[in-house]
Chain A
C-alpha cells in the first residue's frame, strides 16, 4: 500500500514536470489532426501523447482513430483522410519504392522496438516437443529455433501439404521475422516474384496475410498452424489456451525496429512545423512510457495499459495488455518470464529514425524477392535517406533539450550518421552492417543473392 502511495507521488511529480514546462509553442500550420492506428499495444506513444496531453502542450488537437487493417490505414493516409498514422516499419519504405500502393511516405519517428512473437498451435507444439525432447518441460530453454519444426514441415510436404502460417502484412516486420526464423532453421518460407505477389514460390510452407485480431481465431480453426504477430495477440492465444508462443522477435533480432509514425511527403512539406510539434509530443510520450524508478521498474506502464484498454484504443482486457507491457511475457500458462525489453519505447535511442533500420528492411525485401531487380548498395542508402527524416527528429529533440524535457544523452550524438554499429544479435548470429547491404544479403543461405560487385556501386 505504501509503495503505491510513493508511486503515485512519483507519477504526480512526473506529471507536474511534464506540464509545468511551458515553452514557446511552434507555429503549427494545422492544429486539428487525425491520426490512425491499428489495435496493437505498440500504438501506445500516439495514444499516450494524446491522453497525457503531450499533443495539447504543442497546441495540437488530435483525434486518434482505429483502422481496420494496414492497407486501409495506408490508403487513408495517402488520400488525406488521415494526417498521419502508426505504421509498420516496412510500410513507408514499400510505399516509397512502389511495392504495393505507391506513394512517397516519410517517417521522423520510430515508435518502438521489439514487441512481436511467434505462436504455434498446440498440436504443432506437441510435435515439436516430440522432435526435441528438451522442449518437453514447463519452462523450455529460449530462444527456440525452428529446427524442431523442420521435420513436421517435411512430413506435411511429403503428404503434399504445405503448412499454412500467418503474418500480418506483406511488408510487415512480422513477415520478415517469421521468414528469418524459418530460414535460419533451413525451412524455405517462399519467394515473391514479379508474378507471385503472395510469396509462395518454392516455399516449404505457405505464409499468408491475416489481420492481427483474427490471428487467434485462425489458429483455433486450423487455418493457420503458426503466426507471427504483435501484442496482445500472442498473449491472447495463451489466455485462451489455443497456442504456445515459441519465440519473441527480441530473440530473433535483439532490439529490432518495429513500428514508425508515418506521414506523406506532401503533408510533411506542407506542415513542417506541425510535424516537428508532433515529433516532440511523441518523444515525450515515448519517454513517459519508458520512465523507470530507481530500481528499474517501469512506473508508467500500468497507467498506459489502463488507457490502452479503453474500447476506443486497443480495447483488450487490461490484464491481457498488462501481461506483455509491464515487462513480463507468458509463454505458457505455467511459463511466465521476465522480459523487460519486450516493448521498448524510448531506451537505446529507440525513437531515432536510423537509416540502418531502413536498409535492413530493404535487404529483406530484396532477400525475399519483393524487390525483383538487383540494386546497388548506393540505392539502399538513397531510399533510406528518402524515407527517414532524422533532421525533423533532431530539431524536435533539440527543442526538448532546451525545454529540459529530455537530456542530451537520451538522443544520439550530434555527429551520428544514422547507421547503427554492426551487430550479430540475430538468432543465427549473422552480422548486419547497414553500410554493407549486398554483403549482408549474400551471407544468408536461403533467399536472393546479388552480384558482389554491386556493393561498390
Chain B
C-alpha cells in the first residue's frame, strides 16, 4: 500500500513538473524515488549540470570581457557591478519607504524614529568625512600618478610644438623671400611651387606628429586611475545617506502628518481663543474663518499621502499590471474574432486584408495613434471618472490605487493589446478551422445547436492551438510594453530604462543591464505560466513546447 502511495505521489509530482514546464527536474524526482539511478544521474549531468556550467562560463566571460570594452560612457559593467546596482535600487526603495514611514509615524513611534535617524545621521556623517578624506588622498596620489606619466609627454609635446612653430615661420619667410625673388625674376616658377609643396608636406607631417602626442595626452587624461573614481563614488554613497537621513529628520520634525495636523489644530484653537475676545465684526469674521479653514485642513491632513518616488519595484508591478490589462483586451477581442474567422470562410476572407496590413505595424506607431485617439477621451484626466474610480474609489483595494492609473498607462495597455492581438487571432482561427471533420460530423449527427456545438466541440478541440497563440501573444505584449512605456513615459520598466539612459551617471549602464535581467526573468515566468495553461488544456504531451 505504502509502495503504491509513494508511486502515486511520484507520478503526481512528475505530472506537476511536466505541466509547469520544468521537465528538466524530472530526473531529480526520479532519482529521489530511486528509479534507475544510473540513468537519472546521467540525465542530470547532461541536462542540468552542463547547462548550469555553460551559464557560469557565460557569466565568467562577461566578467572578463565586459570591463575591457571601454566606451565613452564608461566600461561595460561586470556582473558584480550589476549586482551592486540591484542593491542600490533596493536601497533606494528602502529610503522611499523610510521617508513614507517618517511621514505617517505618530506619537512614540515618531520619537523613536527621530532618535534612530539622528543616530544614523551622525554615524554616516562620520563615515562620509572619513571617506571624503580617503577620496581626497586618492585623488592626490592619483593626480601625482597622472602627472608622472603626463609631464614627460607634455614636455616633449611643448618643445616639439615650439620647434615646429619656429620652423614654420622660417619656411614662411623663406617662401616670401623666394616669392620676392620670383617677382624680381631671380627665381623660377617651379622653384617657388616646389617650396610651397615642400612646406605644406612638412606642415602635414609635423601636425601628424603633434597629433600623436596630443592623443597620448588625451588618453592619459581620459583614463585616470580607477582608485580616484572608486574612492569618490564610495564617499558619494555615504554622503547620499547623510542627505537621506537629513531629509528623514526633516520630515519627522516638520513634514510629518501628525505634526502638521497638531500645528493646524493649535492654530485653530488660537483663532478660536482670539474669536472669543474679538471686538470688531471684521476681526471676528477673520478669526472664524481661520478656525474653519485650519480645522478643515487638519481634517484633510489625515488623508494626505506621501508622494513616493518611483522605484524599480513599483515600476515592475505597474508594468505587470499594464501588460495584464493589455493582454486581457487582446484575448477578449482575438478569441471571438478568431473563432468567427475559423468557422466562416467569408469572414476570414473579409478580415484577411485587415489582419495582413495591420499586423506588421510597429508598436511605436500604434502608441502614437492611441495617444491621439484614446487621449481624446480624457480631456481632463484628473476629473475623468475612470481615473477617479481607479485611483480614489473606496470600493477598490489599495493595491489598485497604488497603480496610479493615468492616461499614459492606458495608451501603453492599448498598444500592448493591439500588438498582442494578432498571434492569438491567427492561431485561434487556425485552431478552429483545423478541427477534425469527424468531430463536426458527430455534431451534425447529434443535431447539436450552434451554441452547444461551439462550447462542446469547437472550443475544446481548438484550445491547444488557441493557447499556443496566447502564449506568443503574451510574449509579444511584454516585449512591446517596454518600448511603449519608454516612449509614452508611463511609469514602468520601460520608463526606468529610458530614465536611466537619460541620467547618464556612472551607474546608469549597470542599471540598464539590471532592467534587462528583470525584464527577461519576468518574461520567462510569464511564458512558463502560459505553457502550464496550455498543457492543462492539451491532450498531447506538449513536447514541442520546451
Which A residues are closer than 8 A to B by beta carbons?
A: 1, 4, 15, 19, 22, 24-25, 27, 31-32, 39, 51-53, 56-57, 59, 61-63, 66-68, 72, 79-81, 211, 213, 216, 220, 236, 240-242, 303, 306-307, 309-312, 314-320, 333-334
**Docked-complex contact B382 and A56, CB < 8 angstroms:** no
Known: A53-B250, A68-B498. A312 touches B505 (CB 8 A): no
Min Cβ gap B534→A in Å is 37
User: Which of B267, B297, B503 touches A315 (beta carbons < 8 Å)?
Assistant: B503
A67 to B72, CA, bound (A): 25
Chain A, residue nearest B242 (CB): A306
**Docked-complex contact A80 and B503, CB < 8 angstroms:** no
Chain A, residue nearest B301 (CB): A59
Which A residues are CB-close (under 8 A) to B380?
A: 79-80
A28 to B339, CA, bound (A): 56
**Docked-complex contact A333 and B305, CB < 8 angstroms:** no
19 contacts between A and B (CB under 8 A): A31-B300, A39-B503, A51-B247, A56-B254, A56-B255, A62-B307, A66-B499, A66-B502, A68-B486, A79-B407, A213-B501, A241-B72, A241-B218, A306-B240, A311-B92, A311-B499, A315-B505, A316-B505, A317-B506
Instruction: Give the 9 A-B residue pairs with the shortest CB-CB distance, closest first.
Output: A315-B503, A213-B502, A312-B309, A63-B307, A241-B222, A240-B72, A317-B505, A68-B489, A306-B243
Chain B, residue nearest A311 (CB): B503
Q: Return the CB mask of B251-284 against A: 1 if under 8 Å, else 0.
A: 1011100001001000100000000000000000
**Docked-complex contact B92 and A81, CB < 8 angstroms:** no
Which A residues are CB-close (under 8 A) to B300?
A: 31
Which B residues are CB-close (under 8 A) to A24?
A: 267, 290
Known: A241-B222, A242-B72. A81 touches B406 (CB 8 A): yes
User: Which of A61, A315, A320 touches B304 (beta carbons < 8 Å)?
Assistant: A61
* B 297-320 contacts with A by CB, 8 A: 297, 300, 304-307, 309-310
A236 to B503, CA, bound (A): 11
**Docked-complex contact A316 and B503, CB < 8 angstroms:** yes
A117 to B506, CA, bound (A): 22
**Docked-complex contact B72 and A314, CB < 8 angstroms:** no
Which A residues are CB-close (under 8 A) to B26?
A: none
Min Cβ gap B228→A in Å is 10
Min Cβ gap A195→B in Å is 23
Min Cβ gap B257→A in Å is 10
**B78 CB-CB contact with A under 8 Å:** no
Chain B, residue nearest A212 (CB): B502
Min Cβ gap B75→A in Å is 12
Which A residues are CB-close (under 8 A) to B378?
A: 79
Which B residues are CB-close (under 8 A) to A32?
A: 304-305, 307
**Docked-complex contact B236 and A318, CB < 8 angstroms:** yes
Which A residues are CB-close (under 8 A) to B239?
A: 306, 318
**Docked-complex contact A39 and B255, CB < 8 angstroms:** no
Which B residues are CB-close (under 8 A) to A211?
A: 502
Q: Which of A63, A236, A242 has the most CB of B within 10 A?
A: A63
Min Cβ gap B168→A in Å is 10
* Interface residues in B, total, Cβ within 8 A: 54
A229 to B243, CA, bound (A): 29
Min Cβ gap A133→B in Å is 9
**Docked-complex contact B408 and A81, CB < 8 angstroms:** yes
User: Which of A220, A307, A312, A317 touches B243 (beta carbons < 8 Å)?
Assistant: A307
A225 to B419, CA, bound (A): 38
Which A residues are CB-close (under 8 A) to B406?
A: 81
**B232 CB-CB contact with A under 8 Å:** yes
* B 85-104 contacts with A by CB, 8 A: 92
**Docked-complex contact A315 and B222, CB < 8 angstroms:** no
**B473 CB-CB contact with A under 8 Å:** no
Which B residues are CB-close (under 8 A) to A242?
A: 72
A447 to B499, CA, bound (A): 38
**Docked-complex contact A80 and B382, CB < 8 angstroms:** yes
**B508 CB-CB contact with A under 8 Å:** yes
**Docked-complex contact A79 and B375, CB < 8 angstroms:** yes
User: Which of B218, B240, B254 touches A19 (beta carbons < 8 Å)?
Assistant: B254
**B63 CB-CB contact with A under 8 Å:** no
Which B residues are CB-close (under 8 A) to A62?
A: 307
A56 to B502, CA, bound (A): 29
Chain A, residue nearest B383 (CB): A80
Min Cβ gap A125→B in Å is 12
A67 to B502, CA, bound (A): 10
Known: A62-B307, A80-B382, A306-B240. A316 touches B247 (CB 8 A): no
Chain B, residue nearest A240 (CB): B72
A318 to B240, CA, bound (A): 10
Q: Return the CB mask of B7-32 against A: 1 if under 8 Å, else 0.
A: 00000000000000000000000000
User: Which of B221, B297, B407 touches A59 (beta carbons < 8 Å)?
Assistant: B297
**Docked-complex contact B379 and A79, CB < 8 angstroms:** yes
A220 to B506, CA, bound (A): 18
Known: A61-B305, A79-B375. A312 touches B310 (CB 8 A): yes
**B137 CB-CB contact with A under 8 Å:** no
A62 to B251, CA, bound (A): 14
A216 to B74, CA, bound (A): 13
**B43 CB-CB contact with A under 8 Å:** no
User: Which of A15, A39, A57, A333 touches B221 (beta carbons < 8 Å)?
Assistant: A333
Chain B, residue nearest A24 (CB): B290
**Docked-complex contact A315 and B254, CB < 8 angstroms:** no
Which A residues are CB-close (under 8 A) to B382?
A: 80
Known: A79-B379, A80-B382, A317-B506. A241 touches B221 (CB 8 A): yes
**Docked-complex contact B232 and A319, CB < 8 angstroms:** yes
A208 to B221, CA, bound (A): 32
Chain A, residue nearest B289 (CB): A27
Known: A81-B381, A306-B239. A315 touches B232 (CB 8 A): no
**Docked-complex contact A311 and B505, CB < 8 angstroms:** yes
Min Cβ gap A299→B in Å is 15
**B504 CB-CB contact with A under 8 Å:** yes
Chain A, residue nearest B235 (CB): A318
Chain A, residue nearest B72 (CB): A240
**Docked-complex contact B307 and A309, CB < 8 angstroms:** no
Which B residues are CB-close (under 8 A) to A334?
A: 221
**Docked-complex contact A240 and B250, CB < 8 angstroms:** no
A307 to B240, CA, bound (A): 8
**B73 CB-CB contact with A under 8 Å:** yes
User: Which of A1, A4, A51, A316 touches B504 (beta carbons < 8 Å)?
Assistant: A316
**Docked-complex contact B502 and A315, CB < 8 angstroms:** yes
**B50 CB-CB contact with A under 8 Å:** no
A312 to B511, CA, bound (A): 13
**B500 CB-CB contact with A under 8 Å:** yes
Min Cβ gap B254→A in Å is 5
**Docked-complex contact A216 and B505, CB < 8 angstroms:** no
Known: A53-B255, A61-B305, A306-B239. A25 touches B504 (CB 8 A): no
A306 to B246, CA, bound (A): 12
Min Cβ gap B295→A in Å is 13
**B177 CB-CB contact with A under 8 Å:** no
**B129 CB-CB contact with A under 8 Å:** yes
Known: A241-B72, A315-B499. A213 touches B505 (CB 8 A): no
**B293 CB-CB contact with A under 8 Å:** yes
Which B residues are CB-close (under 8 A) to A312?
A: 309-310, 499
